[in-house]
Amino acid sequence: MKKNTKGVDHRKIKNILDKNKAKIELSMKACAHCSMCAESCFLFQARNKDPRYMPSYKFLKTLGVIYKKKGKVDRVTLEEMKPILWKRCVLCTRCYCPMGIDIPYLIRTARSICRSQDVYYRYDEDA
Amino acid sequence: MDPLNLIYDLARGPLVWVAFAVFIVGSAAQLVRMWRLTSPPDETYVPRVKKADGKNKLPLSYRIRLSVAGSSPVTVAVTTLFHLCLVITPLFVLGHNILLDNAWRVSLCSFPERFSDVLTTVVIICAGYFLARRVFSERVRIISSFWDYLFLGLAAGPFITGYLAYHQICDYKLVITVHMLLGEAMLVAIPFTKFVHMLFFFVFRFAVASEYSLGNGKRRW
Ligand code: SF4
Ligand code: SF4
C-alpha cells in the first residue's frame, strides 16, 4: 500500500468545521460519555462488544479530536482515523443516542474532513 | 470580618441571584440555539412503515425493548432516578424554601426533612454507581476524560455537602458554605458545560422525530 505523505490543507478542514460549528460544538458538549449508544451499532454487537466499535468512540476519536485541535491535525492522525471511520462504521445510520445526538452526522462530517485531505478508504487497495 | 463569614454571606446572598440569573438567561439562549439547529418537518417524507392504524412507530413495549431501556435496564433506571432526584430535591427542601420565603415571601411546598434526606442519599448512591461504571467498565473508561470525573463530582457535591450539613457532620458553617458555592457553580455550569445534556435531551428527544423519540415532535435535525 502506498503511503500518503502529502501535507494537510488546514484551511479546508477549518471550512468544514466552521460550516458545522454549532451542531458539532453542542453535540460534543452534550455527549455524556456514557456508552449507552453502544448496543445500537450492529458492528459493536458483531465484534464481541469491542468498545472501539461503539458509535461514541468512533466520533469522539475522530471528529472529537479534530474539533478539539481546531482542525490542526497532521496526516498521520488522519490516516489513523481512516479505519475507525470506514472499517468500523458503514454509516448505516442505525445508531441511537438516548440524549438525541445525531451520531451518523458526526461520523459523516469526520469522513468529509478526511476525504478533503485525500484520506479515504480505497477498497481495491486497502481491503 | 472572618473570611468564612464573608464568603458565607456572599454565597447566601448576591451569588444566589447571580447564579439563578446566569442559569435562566444562559439556558434560554441555549434552548433557542438548539431549536434553531432543527428544521421544520419534511412534508415530502414518506414513512418507511405506514401501518393500517396510521401510526409509524412500533408499539411502546417493542420500542422499550429495542431502546437503551432494553439493552442497559439498570443504568437507565439509575440515571432516571438520579436525574429526577437531582432536580426535585433542591426544589422541595425545607431549608431552601425558608430562604426563598425570607427573600421574596413566596415558597414552594416542602418535603418532610427525612424524605429529603432519603432523596439526597439516593443521588449520592447513584453518583457512586456512575463513578464505579466509569472506573471499572472498559467501554465507559475508554471514552472518559478528566472532565467527566470533575462534572460528576460537581453534580454530587451539593448533595454530599447537603447530607453532611443536615447530619451536622464536620464544621456546619464550612460545610454549608461549600454546599451553597457548589450549588451555585452547578447552576451556572448547566447551560455552558457538559451539563447542557439536561437541556439537549428535552429538545432532541421530544421535538425531533425519530424511531425512539419520546414525544410526537416532527422537526428534523
Ligand atoms: S453519543 Fe449519546 S449514548 Fe453515546 S456516549 Fe455520547 S451521550 Fe452517551
Ligand atoms: S452508522 Fe456506523 S456507528 Fe452507527 S450503527 Fe451504523 S455502523 Fe454503527
**Ligand nearest, relative to CA of residue A57:** 1
- Check whether A2 has a pLDDT greater than 90: no
Residue with CA at minimum distance from ligand 1 atom 6? A31
Check: CB of residue A107 under 8 Å from CB of residue A85: yes
The whole-model pTM stands at 0.89
Angstrom distance (rounded) from CA A9 to CA A12: 6
Does the pLDDT of residue A8 top 90, yes or no? Answer: no
- pLDDT tens, position by position, B98-129: 988 888 888 888 899 999 999 999 999 999 99
Supply the DSSP string of B71-94, one letter for each residue. Answer: HSHHHHHHHHHHHHHHHHHHHH-H
Cell, residue B47: 414513512
Query: Is there a contact between B210 and A57 if contact means CB atoms under 8 Å apart?
Result: no
Give which of B65, B134, B142 to mutate to test A binding, by max A Cβ within 10 Å.
B142
How many A from CA of B133 to the centre of ligand 2? 24
* Per-residue model confidence as pLDDT tens digits over B162-195: 999 999 998 999 999 999 999 999 999 999 999 9
Q: Which of A102, A34, A52 is nearest to B151 (CA)?
A: A34
**Among A33, A93, A95, A105, which is best to mutate for testing ligand 1, by the most ligand atoms less than 8 A from CB?**
A33
**Percentage of the residues of chain B whose pLDDT score is greater than 70:** 93
pLDDT single digits (tens) A57-88: 999 999 999 999 999 999 999 999 999 999 99
Nearest ligand 2 atom, CA A90? 7
H or E stretch at B39: none
- CA neighbours within 13 Å on the CB side: how many for A115? 11
How high is the mean pLDDT of chain B?
88
Query: Ligand 2: which atom is nearest the Cα of residue A92?
Result: 6
Average pLDDT of the residues of chain A: 92
Indicate the top mutation candidate among A86, A95, A102, A108 to test ligand 2's pocket, ranked by most ligand atoms within 8 A of CB: A95
Can you name the CATH fold of B3-47+76-207? Fumarate Reductase Cytochrome B subunit (1.20.950)
Within 6 Å (CB) of ligand 1, which residues are found? A 31-37, 56, 97-99, 101, 103
Is the confidence metric ipTM above 0.95 for this complex?
A: no
Q: Which of B35, B58, B139 to mutate to test the interface with A (most CBs of A within 10 A)?
A: B139
Domain coordinates in residue numbering, chain A: 20-116
Of A33, A57, A99, the CB nearest to B201: A99
Nearby residues of B193 by Cβ (< 8 Å), 6 or more positions away: A29, B151
Please tell me the residue having the least CA distance from ligand 1 atom 7. Answer: A31
